[in-house]
Structure 1
C-alpha cells in the first residue's frame, strides 16, 4: 500500500488553504483576505454587496450593487470592482479603529518640576471588569509610573498634574 501522508496536507493546513483559496465567481470573490458577496438587497428590489474580512463574522462594508444590463440580475464582480471594494472596506475598518482608539486612549502632557511628563489613560473595556491604566513617561519615553484606575477616571491637565504632584499615588 502506498503512503500518501507526505504529499497530503494536514487537516489544519487544508482548512487554512480553503479559507485563503481564491474564488472569482460573478457573485462571490475571495482574495487577499477579503470576501465580496453580491446579495439580494432586503430593503428594495435591487442588489447589495458585502465585504467580509477573513476571520470576521460581520461584514466591514455593505453597500448597493449595480444592476446588470438586463435590469433584473446584478452586474458580475470583476477584478477592478473587487479591488475598489477592498480599498473602501479597509478604509472603513481603519477609520473605525482610529475612532475606537480615540475613545479608549487619552493623552495629556504637563510641565512638572522634573520636566515635561506625558500622562496617558488607556481604557480596558472588559465586560466583567472594566478599568483603565493611568501611566506617566518623562520626555525621553522612560516609564515613571503606571496604576490601575476606574474606567470612569477623567484625564485632563489638572487631574494629571494632581497625580504627578501626589507622587503618582493611585487617584481616588
Structure 2
C-alpha cells in the first residue's frame, strides 16, 4: 500500500522563502523556484516571475500544464563556440517581495561535426548550429552556484 500524503491549501501570500535549483544535461536545461510557507511546506503553483540578471540564456515555459515555478533554460542565445568556452549567467526568480538569484557556470563546446556517408564532409556551420539542440554536443561541465540570495522580508539585499 502506498503512503498517503497530506495536501494543505496555502495562499501564496503566506510564502516565506524562495530558492532556485537548476538542472543540467551537459548544458543548462531547466530551473525550479521552490517556494515554502513559514512552516517549510512547499507551495505548488506559485506565480513566480523569471528573469535573467546577467549573461545570455533563453528562458521558456515548460508547457501549459507545468506550474509557473518551473522554467526551461538553454544556451541558445549565443552561437556555438569554435573552441571550448566558459559561460556564465545569473538567473532570478521573484514572487512579490521574495526573490532568489542563482549563478550558473558551464563550459560550452563546439558542435560535433557530422560526416556524410558519401563524401565524408562536414555540414556547413549553419546546419551544425541548427542541429545543436538535438545533438549531445554542447558542453562538458556545468555547475550551479547558489551564491546570490535575497530575501527582502528579512532585510538582506544583494550586492553587485
User: Could you state the TM-score of these two structures normalised by the residue count of structure 2?
Assistant: 0.28
Structure with greater contact order relative to length (CA < 8 Å, sep ≥ 6): 2
Specify the structure having the higher radius of gyration (Cα).
1
User: Could you state the TM-score of these two structures normalised by the residue count of structure 1?
Assistant: 0.26
Looking at secondary structure, tell me which structure has more helix per residue: 1
Looking at secondary structure, tell me which structure has more strand per residue: 2
